[in-house]
């Protein structure tokens, strides 16, 4: 039996995946979490084999949650389930330790296939993204300015565009405010923006984040 932990801040998404997996005889839902922090807390008591992880969530988000889960539970398998099908997310999350990557528009049977393959020790990347990664590796071309960001810069970017203040980011990522300020300055320079509002607009333009209510008042 494969025990799965669902991590997504949208209840509707979790419900849809749960309904799919409930009809799968060799898969069992071990628990659900609506944030990276909740997933980490649950993982201490649950004995999940596979985590289905969203990327954009309040708090530390999927990047940091994946890193922290795998740091303490190296045998755990993480499959990212995200709306993001373009760079830099697939590559950066695989570098962070995720063993699978699916988009939220994938078919029900693909989710089940991914869970089984990853549980068996193999990677699974949805075909369209796998092809994109292969082409990118060959051509070395960059279609999005966000591709040049490091894993940590992406984490800070997502939390900034999610409305988190530098102080809150520092506390949640266990970094000093000065370090967070350095990351913000660096990613602003790389992307050619001067504040969080411009960063959010650029991220929305490239489909790096989804439109959410907090984007109307992102702090500088």
pLDDT band at 127 (very low <50, low <70, confident <90, very high): confident
Higher pLDDT pick, 143 / 179: 179
pLDDT given at position 147: 81
By residue count, the chain amounts to: 220
What residues does each domain of the chain span? 2-138, 145-217
pLDDT band at 155 (very low <50, low <70, confident <90, very high): confident
pLDDT band at 138 (very low <50, low <70, confident <90, very high): very low
pLDDT given at position 212: 59
pLDDT given at position 87: 65
pLDDT tens per residue, range 4-14: 999 999 999 99
pLDDT given at position 85: 74
Q: Are strands 100-103 and 50-53 parallel, antiparallel or unpaired?
A: unpaired
111-115's contacts with Cβ under 8 Å and 24+ in sequence apart are 111/17, 111/20, 111/21, 111/52, 111/81, 112/20, 112/21, 112/24, 112/27, 114/79, 115/2, 115/4, 115/21, 115/27, 115/50, 115/52, 115/79
Residue 59 has phi, psi (to 5 degrees) of 85, -140
pLDDT given at position 143: 65
pLDDT given at position 209: 76
Query: Exposed/middle/buried for 50, CB within 10 Å: 0-12, 13-18, 19+?
Result: buried
SS3 of residue 142 by DSSP: coil
196-205 helix and 151-161 helix, angle to the nearest 10 degrees? 100
pLDDT given at position 218: 47
Please check the confidence at residue 34 and state whether its pLDDT lies above 90.
yes
pLDDT given at position 141: 46
CATH node for 145-217: 1.10.10.10
Q: What is the average pLDDT across 133-160?
A: 73
C-alpha radius of gyration, the chain, whole number: 17
**CA dist., res. 85 & res. 94, Å (int):** 13
E strand spans, the chain: 2-7, 27-33, 50-53, 77-82, 100-103, 124-125
Please check the confidence at residue 154 and state whether its pLDDT lies above 90.
no
Whole-number average pLDDT of the chain: 87
Q: What is the average pLDDT across 79-107?
A: 87
Please check the confidence at residue 139 and state whether its pLDDT lies above 60.
no
Q: Are strands 50-53 and 77-82 parallel, antiparallel or unpaired?
A: parallel
Q: What is the average pLDDT across 180-195?
A: 94
CATH node for 2-138: 3.40.50.2300
């Amino acid at each position: 039996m494969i025990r799965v932990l669902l991590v997504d801040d949208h209840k509707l998404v979790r419900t849809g995946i749960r309904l799919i997996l409930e009809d799968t005889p060799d898969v069992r839902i071990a628990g659900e979490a609506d944030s990276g922090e909740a997933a980490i807390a649950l993982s201490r008591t649950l004995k999940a084999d596979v985590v289905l992880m969203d990327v954009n969530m309040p708090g530390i988000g999927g990047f940091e949650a994946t890193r922290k889960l795998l740091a303490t539970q190296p045998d755990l398998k993480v499959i990212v389930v995200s709306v993001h099908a373009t760079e830099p997310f697939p590559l950066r999350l695989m570098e962070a330790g995720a063993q699978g990557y699916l988009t939220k528009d994938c078919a029900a049977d693909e989710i089940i296939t991914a869970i089984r393959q990853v549980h068996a020790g193999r990677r699974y990347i949805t075909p369209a993204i796998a092809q994109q990664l292969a082409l990118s590796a060959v051509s070395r071309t960059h279609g999005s300015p966000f591709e040049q960001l490091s894993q940590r810069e992406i984490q800070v970017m997502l939390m900034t565009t999610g409305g988190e203040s530098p102080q809150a980011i520092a506390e949640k990522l266990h970094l000093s405010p000065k370090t967070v300020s350095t990351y913000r300055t660096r990613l602003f320079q790389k992307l050619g923006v001067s504040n969080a509002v411009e960063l959010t607009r650029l991220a929305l333009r490239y489909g790096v984040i989804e439109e959410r209510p907090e984007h109307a008042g992102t702090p500088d």
